[in-house]
Structure 1
Amino acid sequence: MELAKRFEATHDVTVKMTSGGSQDLAKSIEVNHVGDIFFPGFKTFVDTMEADGQVVDSGMVGHNELVIFVAKGNPRELTGDLVQFVDPSLAVVIGHEDLGAVGKESKRALSVMNIYEQVVRNTVFMVSDSKGLSAAIREGKADIVLNWKAVAQLKDNLDYIDVIPVKGIAPKPLVMASLIYSANPELAKSFLQLCVSPEGRAVFERFGF
C-alpha cells in the first residue's frame, strides 16, 4: 500500500488491490484475463503463469520466511520445533496446501520431517491464507500456526502475536510479475520497476520481507 501511494502520487493514477490466497488469485487471473500485476506469496505461482505465457516480466522484491506464530507472551512456552504440531494438547491451524502459498510451504516443511499427514489430522481447521492464520491466533482459536514472518508486523497483529523462527527453514524469494492481460502495460511496467528498485525493496525489507 505504501508503494501504491507513492506510485499514485507520481503517475496520476489510482491503484486498486485485490487480496486473497495465491491460488485463488492465480485462478481468477487465468479465468477472467484481468489484472496488471500479480503478487503471490510463493515464487512457483509466478513460474507457472510464466510457463503458460501469462507473464510479461517479473522481479524479486524480497523474501518470505515461514515461522511459527503464537499468542503474545507465548503462554504455552512453545519453541521452534515443528514436532509440536502433532501434539494433541495444542490447538493447531495450518494453511490449506491447495489454496495459498503459505499452505504449500507449510506442507513442504512438514513433509521434510514426515509429519504432514499427522499434522493435518491434528488440526482444528485449515484456512486459505495468511490472514486466516493470523486471525486464528488473535481470536484464541489456535495455540500455534505456521505463517509468513512479515504478516506479524501488520498493525492488526502487532499486539497479539509473537514470532518463533523455525530451525532449518530458509527464506523464499518473493516475486512480483506484470501480466499480459494488463490494460495499462506501461503503467504495470513502471509499477513493477518501482517495486524491484532499491527504493521499493527497502520498503519491503522494512515490513519484514
Structure 2
Amino acid sequence: MRLPSAVSALAAAARHRVVCIGLLMMLALPGCDASDTRTASDDPTPLLIYCGVTMLHPIRAIAEVFEAETGVPVVISQGASADLYRSLETARLGDMYFPGSLSYRIDNLHAGLLGEGAHVGYNVAALLVRAGNPKRIPASLAALTDPALAVVVANPDSGSIGRETRRILRLAGLYDAVLRNTVLMATDSRNLNQALLDGSADVVLNWRATGRFPENQPHVEVLDIDPALAARKKLVINLLTFSQQPALARRFMKMATSPRGQAIFRDAGFIDARGRTG
C-alpha cells in the first residue's frame, strides 16, 4: 500500500489543526515524500509547528488568526518538549519548534536544526491545588514533602515542567524528599492537571498559566511560590532550519510577537515578552 505524501497527509490533518507525534513519525517512513509541495486539491501547504502542550491555547488562537489572514493552514503537533524535539529530529519535517523552556533551544542549537528564535513571553511555575484549596495547602514547596498529601510532579526527561521542577526543588534542597513522597510522575503539564481533576493528586507543581486555561480554571487554584525559586522562564519559538516555508514561518513568528499576539498570550495566562500579565 502506498503511503501518502507528507504534505498531503498534513493537509488532511490541517482540518483538525492539532495532530499527534505518531502521525509525524509515520511521515518519516520510506515512501512518505516530504519534498512534495502540492496536495491533490492544490491547497496551500500547511505550516507545521511542534508545540509544547502548555502553550497550545495561545498558539491555536494565533494559528486561527494567521489562517484567516493568509489562507495558509497551521498544523500543531502537541506533546512534551523533549518528545517533540526527538520527533522533529527524526522526521525532518515542519517549520517551527516551540518548547516550554529556553533550555531546549540552548541544549540543541549545536545540532543545527534550530535557526532564529522569537521571544514571545515567559512561563513561571506554581503549586496548583483543587479549587477552594479544600486541604488548606500552604503556598510552600515544603507541602510537597507532606506524607498526608497526594503529590504528583513531572518527569524531568519528558517535558519542560519536569526540568523546571527538578531545578526548583534542587535549589530548595527538597528534590529527593519530594520524589520519595510522590505518588506518580506525570509526563507533562496537561497530565499534572488531569491528576488534580481526577482526584489522583492533592497538589502538583506546574506551569502557572495552565491554571487559567478554560478547562482548568473552574477546578483548580494557583498558589504562587517564592519568586527567588520559581524564576520566569523565557519562551522562544524556533524556526527550523529545514523548513520549506521559512518566509511564512517568520510571518507566523512575527504575528506571535506583535501586540495582537502578545495580547493572546496574556489572555491565556502567560507573561508577555515585556513582562506584562493579563
Cα separation, 1, equivalents of 2:253 and 2:61 = 14
Q: Does 1:34 align with 2:93?
A: yes
In structure 2, the residue matched to 1:189 is 250
In structure 2, the residue matched to 1:177 is 238
CA contact (8 A) 1:46 1:176 kept: no
Shift, 1:2, TM fit? 1.0
Cα separation, 2, equivalents of 1:49 and 1:130 = 22
In structure 1, the residue matched to 2:37 is none
Q: Does 1:165 align with 2:224?
A: yes
Q: Does 1:49 align with 2:104?
A: no
Structure 2 matches for 1:46-195, cutoff 5 A? Answer: 46-167=105-226, 168=228, 169-195=230-256
- Amino acid corresponding to residue 172 of structure 1 in structure 2: K
Secondary structure class of the residue paired with 1:108: helix
Which has the greater radius of gyration?
2
Cα separation, 2, equivalents of 1:135 and 1:109 = 22
Runs of 4+ in 1 over 6 A off after TM superposition: none
Cα separation, 1, equivalents of 2:194 and 2:167 = 23
Within the candidate set 217, 242, 265, 1:204 is matched to 265
Q: Does 1:12 align with 2:71?
A: yes
- Amino acid corresponding to residue 106 of structure 2 in structure 1: D
Shift, 1:183, TM fit? 2.2
- Amino acid corresponding to residue 186 of structure 1 in structure 2: A
- Amino acid corresponding to residue 82 of structure 1 in structure 2: L
- Greater RCO structure (CA 8 Å; 6+ sep): 1
CA contact (8 A) 1:62 1:175 kept: yes
Cα separation, 2, equivalents of 1:2 and 1:204 = 9
* The 10-residue stretch of structure 1 (163-172 or 140-149) with the greater mean CA deviation from structure 2: 163-172
Cα separation, 2, equivalents of 1:47 and 1:201 = 23
CA contact (8 A) 1:63 1:173 kept: yes
Cα separation, 2, equivalents of 1:57 and 1:146 = 31
CA contact (8 A) 2:213 2:269 kept: no
In structure 1, the residue matched to 2:3 is none
Instruction: Give me the CA root mean square deviation.
Output: 1.0
Structure 1 residue ranges without an equivalent (≥5)? none
Secondary structure class of the residue paired with 1:56: strand
- Amino acid corresponding to residue 161 of structure 1 in structure 2: V
Can you list the C-alpha shifts for 1:5-57, whole angstroms capped at 9, x where unaligned? Answer: 11001111111111111000011111111221111110111222323211221
Shift, 1:164, TM fit? 0.4
- Amino acid corresponding to residue 258 of structure 2 in structure 1: S
Secondary structure class of the residue paired with 1:50: helix
